[in-house]
Chain A
Amino acid sequence: MSLFVRRQIPIVLVFVAALLVMADYFLGFRTTTGPIVTDLQNWGIILSAFALGFGAVNLFYLHTRHISRRTPGQWPFSIWILIMIVVFTIIGVATGPTGPQYSWLYNASYFALSATVYSSLGFYMTTGCYRALRARNAEAALLLVVGAIALLRNAPAVAVGVPIIIPMEAWLSSIPTTSAQRGIMIGAALGAIALGVRTMIGRETGFLGRLTEAERRGGT
């Protein structure tokens, strides 16, 4: 396939699709652009669902490679993950994703593990707070004071016992925190707009799975 087909046509498609969606949002041609954009969005949903299946295929490919090569310290776990993929798939297809057997399997394995790992964050945060919230200098002291107020405000009984902490934490959240977050959000949004522009004009080709010539030449 020629470079033109592989590179230019996807860029043109992205440009046209982006323009249509923006025209639908900003311009009043709903009767014309509305149905087209609805279809585009539904295609997007179908493609993202397809990506889930692609992820499963990828996992199969990678782990069968580990098994065939007997990768040290890895291949027994690869066998296990493939067994679990098969078990979940068979039960899911046979009983439906909302069937009692699938629900039991999900709750007994994935949900329990997921909640456990998520909960371990509490322990990491404890050691993080213990080590980091020390008044080594003025900035660290400020971090300590603000952190302590937030910590105590979020303890319900302390908020009842020391009511002054509620307006203090409310001020900290409303004024300095919100202001800082707004700045970060504006920066992130401008970054997204810039990436959108670069993608539409073909200067950003990461989504095509390849680097631009400039990126190839880039480095120190």
Chain B
Amino acid sequence: MLVAGRIFALGMLIALWIFIIGCMEMAKKKLPSFRKLAGLDALPEMAGRAAEMNRPIHFTTGLGELTGTVAPQLVAGLAVLGYVSELAAKYGVKVIYSVYQAQVMPIATELMREAYVRAGKPDAFNAEEQIRYLSGEQFAYATAVQGIAERERPAANIMIGPFYAESMMFSETFFRIGAIQLAGTARGYQIPFFAVVCDYLLIGEEIYAAGAYLSKDPIQAGSIQGQDIGKIIGWILMFIGVLATVAGTPIINDLLKM
């Protein structure tokens, strides 16, 4: 019944499901704690800077679709958008959200509206002005964002989500106009470009933790905890595998190939 060569993968998948669901349920009783993420702790500073300079905050969740393989990164970016919107509303700062994928717009609108309501400033939210669908084409979107940077000169730029070649273009352009920048992506190709230019950086799964870190949502927090258990299992297998390979036994290799 089980396809040879995929048995171990199926077992690991089921185990991860159990851990993730279990941790999500446990998180409802006690929220897990996270280590400090400097970039996220700097968000109030970024909003304050924007308020002092009377300039907006620019936010983008990059390219990618809610139904694609990079959807987890997009979802993580939207979680941070909710937090930033509430923070900005409290400080009286405009948030401009540049949208690549049209299907994100209704979610973003609802997210930001709820954030402004929580901040006690529902009338300050203007969806048409603040949520801008630019283009579904990569470089048309990229040049439109650069245009927003040059014209509106945001004091802060936050980029969390799946980014492609436009990452360097955004980073350099916002650096040139003097914006403070926080960037985060799990797309390994673009992390180096953010690392050399941006002030704060979230690498890889830190963006998944960002949503949980900021929202204190037990579902997201429990999910992160379950993923961390998965990483621990991976680390244990790797450690045992190295020892086994050095000892001359292929037991772990055979287990992985099962």
Query: What residues make up the interface of A, taking CB atoms closer than 8 Å to B?
Result: 22, 25-29, 48, 51, 54-55, 58-59, 62, 73, 113-114, 117-118, 120-121, 124-125, 127-129, 131-133, 143, 181, 183-188, 190-195, 197-198, 201, 203-204, 206-207, 209-212, 214-216, 218-220
Contacts and interface: CB of A to CB of B under 8 A. Distances in A.
B172 A193 contact: no
A215 B111 contact: yes
B24 A203 contact: yes
Nearest to A44: B67
B24 to A, nearest CB: 7
Contacts of B216: 218
A218 to B, nearest CB: 4
Interface of B: 1-3, 6, 9-10, 13, 16-17, 20-21, 24, 65-67, 69, 71-73, 75-76, 78-79, 82-83, 86-87, 102-103, 106-107, 110-111, 114-115, 118, 133, 135-136, 139, 142-143, 151, 165, 168-169, 171-172, 186-188, 191, 193, 196-197, 203-205, 208, 214-219, 223-224, 226-227, 230-231, 234
Given A188-B204, A195-B75, A212-B219, A26 B188 contact: no
Given A25-B6, A204-B75, A214-B217, A128 B197 contact: yes
Contact of B197 (A26, A121, A132): A132
A158 to B, nearest CB: 21
A218 B13 CA distance: 29
Given A26-B6, A191-B76, A197-B17, 17 more contacts: A25-B6, A58-B133, A118-B165, A121-B168, A128-B172, A184-B188, A185-B188, A190-B205, A190-B227, A191-B186, A193-B230, A209-B103, A210-B107, A212-B219, A216-B114, A220-B83, A220-B214
B72 A26 contact: no
A188 B217 contact: no
Contacts of A73: 151
Contacts of A207: 66-67, 71
Contacts of B82: 215, 218-219
Contacts, number: 178
Contact of A206 (B87, B107, B114, B196): B107
Contacts of B139: 113-114, 117-118
A174 B66 CA distance: 33
A125 B1 contact: no
Given A214-B218, A220-B83, A55 B136 contact: yes
Contact of A195 (B1, B71, B111, B118): B71
A200 B185 CA distance: 24
A91 to B, nearest CB: 18
Contacts of A216: 114
Contacts of B227: 187, 190-191, 193-194
B74 to A, nearest CB: 8
A147 B69 CA distance: 30
Nearest to B162: A188
Contacts of B86: 219-220
A28 B3 contact: yes
A55 B102 contact: yes
A34 to B, nearest CB: 12
Contacts of B102: 54-55, 58
A47 to B, nearest CB: 9
A58 B99 CA distance: 12
A181 B188 contact: yes
A191 B71 CA distance: 10
Nearest to A205: B107
